[in-house]
């Protein structure tokens, strides 16, 4: 295949039958459709061609990693705050936790579900009349 065809998204799989199976299993979209967006974002300089080899090297976006670390830190802090509030008042309502930590009810539910799954919190008794237990 010529470079011009490659960069325009033309697809010529080495094994068309395997690619057809992948398409039938919905593991791939339109064959070759990913190259133009990659070229648009990173340019052609990330591709290396020789007679028998094709190689690409994508630069890593460190800002994504930083955002994930920040989200993780914030989540840990929120979880810790919720655990502390529950220790102080085992009868606290989800609505009170939401107001206390400026979260939505869904956000509180997500935090509580995570704490339960990690074995740090459990509900004793029914939703009405029960209480929280920090483990």
Question: Taking the domains of the chain in order of start, what are their residue ranges?
Answer: 13-56, 62-134
- The torsion angles phi and psi of 121, rounded to 5 degrees, stand at -150, 145
What is the rounded distance in angstroms from the CA atom of residue 79 to the CA atom of residue 104?
A: 14
What is the rounded distance in angstroms from the CA atom of residue 112 to the CA atom of residue 107?
A: 9
CA–CA–CA angle 23, 24, 26 (5° rounding): 60
- What is the pLDDT at residue 36? 82
- The torsion angles phi and psi of 94, rounded to 5 degrees, stand at -60, -35
What is the rounded distance in angstroms from the CA atom of residue 130 to the CA atom of residue 86?
A: 13
Q: What is the CATH number of domain 62-134?
A: 1.10.10.10
- What is the pLDDT at residue 30? 61
Low pLDDT (below 70) residues in the chain: 29-33, 61-76
- What is the pLDDT at residue 10? 77
Chain mean pLDDT for the chain: 79
What is the rounded distance in angstroms from the CA atom of residue 34 to the CA atom of residue 32?
A: 6
Report field, pTM of the whole predicted structure over 0.75:
no
What is the rounded distance in angstroms from the CA atom of residue 78 to the CA atom of residue 135?
A: 17
- What is the pLDDT at residue 11? 74
């Amino acid at each position: 295949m010529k470079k011009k065809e490659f960069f325009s998204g033309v697809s010529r799989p080495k094994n068309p039958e395997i690619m057809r199976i992948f398409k039938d299993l919905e593991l791939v979209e339109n064959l070759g459709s990913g190259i133009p967006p990659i070229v648009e974002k990173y340019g052609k300089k990330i591709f290396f061609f020789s007679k028998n080899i094709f190689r690409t090297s994508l630069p890593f976006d460190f800002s994504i990693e930083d955002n994930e670390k920040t989200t993780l830190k914030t989540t840990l802090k929120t979880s810790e705050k919720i655990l502390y509030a529950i220790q102080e008042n085992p009868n606290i309502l989800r609505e009170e936790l939401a107001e206390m930590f400026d979260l939505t009810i869904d956000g509180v539910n997500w935090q509580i579900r995570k704490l339960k799954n990690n074995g740090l919190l459990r509900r004793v008794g029914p939703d009405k009349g029960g209480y929280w237990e920090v483990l």
